[in-house]
A and B are shown apart, each in its own frame.
Chain A
């Protein structure tokens, strides 16, 4: 319910209060991205893209609910890991390759690292987590890595 009102708040002119009749409304990404919860997140665009139906960041209510159900504290960690993988997989090829990693690092650091540092970090990350040495991270690699992290669960959620 609260989520719905939040959703409605985002675009009062777009979203009708009575949702039973009009299920085909999308809130554009520009509005989603300005939510205080997402505003400062370097991956907000990715989050919106991953959870929106057609990957353009515009969200229906269902997508919106989806997003916060995954990001809630109650969501199981496998699910979280799955979506985290999708979020970090920038080019949607079901692998996290070096390019995805570069994107991740530059977004994380807002471009404060030099190119060599970024490439070094990417190399290291691949070195550490790539269990099959194919030069990119598959979902399994990512899950086995991320689920062992002590604070993944505590950091990978959004409170609304």
Chain B
């Protein structure tokens, strides 16, 4: 196929022709013979494999099911298990055919039917067959091959619909399948029991002794005993692995005889690993080691046999230096688990040099990642400095894909095992220096929290950040930490003339212009703190605040800070200043949010286990954790922010809140009189910064939590409202929302600054919706930016019916928020209340503009001031496919310009956003980096808010 299709187009053409041919054959008058049917169904399968939709042939496939010929039946089942959706209407017909085949007593037909059930595994099939299959499984006269299939079929149904599989008398008979003659049946039964016993451990308890005796028979058999189930001289490796997995569902056997037998098995397996191989083939060692690794997992799971644990550790230690990469990988992975056991932790630690070496020299990133995991797991007080240092040095060359994770790990270890906090501060600052881009907010929040809470380290921290900031190029995160720490504790180093207040200030201010808005906002707060700490810097700082670039800054947040801080510094008395700008109070202790982040990143299972293992171990060793330790109690709160900030990503507003709202409660000891004085002194003539402050504080909350002014009791937008919004940025039609009751479809069209949107509300139930009311609202500023008219709808929606609402939209000026759609209705006895964001985004009012390369670059240069540009670098969330990207950019609304960018991989686009008041010209450029799986998106428009909004919208799409 690929050879025929030289290009994508040719391939599609060829396939469409073939599909038309097959369709005409199916639809034709002449009945097709079985062979032809089979041939065409095969072709459809192949076409489907290549990624083309197949929308016919299902009926023909269903007809093949009832054929008496095996070959036709087989191809019918194949088609259905590959192509039929589980909720297909044909399912009843299919079920019927399956029922007949199950009852046919022809083992081959029965197997085909069981395969089909297992592969489709839908709920309808479970409903139809879940009670039937256990009977087939345990019937005395069932053939082995059917038993095998029935066991796995039941397993699949239990996984998809556990409620439909009745437990009963058959369960005890299933356990006895572990004694079956046929090893294929035993393998299938073991899989089934492993799954069932996870949820019903008591019901299947007896399987433990049966599994042990089966395992022991296999392990002690000679390599030829099991004939066909011997794989490259290893007897029944898959079954052994499955049995060892099954045993991991239970605690160690209580019966001493059984336990003794099992331990004997494990020892035999460990001994065999030391014997010379029976074959040089890699398959032989793979099979042998598959069993060995599973046995080690079981030993770790029991965690009660010190002798075996240490042997396991030594065995893994050998594998760490094995020439097979796979074995090194698996050994590192298993050792992570061993490190958590009190018996083997010390033994694992002896391999530290090997693991560090693996981190440095392994060629494969998968293996390096496991090595980093293991170093993290084996870290304790004794080796923390070494491990942290190694990880730090590895960071300089680490793969991009794992840098962020390593940063988190270093940050956690440095904090957890910090004996003296100067080491901790050094480590984190190094971290920022080496891998600044990968240091997430949580990490630098945490270092500030710790410095504020421990006064023995504050002076050192101030000195260190001061030195770090002297580097000609330092990362913005360093500036943030530096600004914050000097603002709080700069006085501790001000005695040294080399770091006098003015020197400190000038150093900070030299970075100011290179920083982003949130960092500048933070620096402004540091400056006002300087005014309090060092009165001698007051005039210099006031000059800075007074300059046009601050007082007239186009960023509202920066401007507001400059205005307020300037007033504060010139009007408030030193007492008031000292009170308002007092040092931050200690933070309450809480779980490190870095840990929460790592957990989130690695999935809940892995890290928690490791941490719990650690906890036990430290208790045993009697180790005393440092006072400021990350609590190991897991209360994952991914959004827990350390500084008590409202988690506003822009950080602007909330940083302002933090300086004031956190500082003011800290002065709880104020006398009532002085409090009076305090508020009066802020009560300024003219502009009222006090009230502005209040606005800023409240503003952050109110905007997000009170979405719809006007409606009395608005439901909050559904949590994924923003995802829904993102879904429609590049397209106009689709399903906006769906739950059990209601489906909302959307169709929309836009021209210039006008749009029309059709909303379709489908009642999915058979019951009427009463008092069905829709309310479209524009929160806040949006009222002045969009004009929306919605036509009223009928208050009753019949069961199964659909109502339509038409909304006319006029865009008055550019906007960022989305209008809200509130839906209320009564279903049964309860009132349903749903609030969604309507997917009306500013890019809908795009008109594409074609232009030549020269024009483009000329305009690009014209829009070069920093406010006009918005840029974002982000990871690809979807595969980086050029065609898909093009389609998305066109859907976004801009023209896609060919041959403009000298780099052909890049995409550039241009367009004009039409609003009633203004038209905004927009240029965009998207640069994919497929190696790093990243994009850089740059938008330049004549209006800052538009650049930012478009950038935010479009960056969610890839």
Is B one of A's binding partners? no
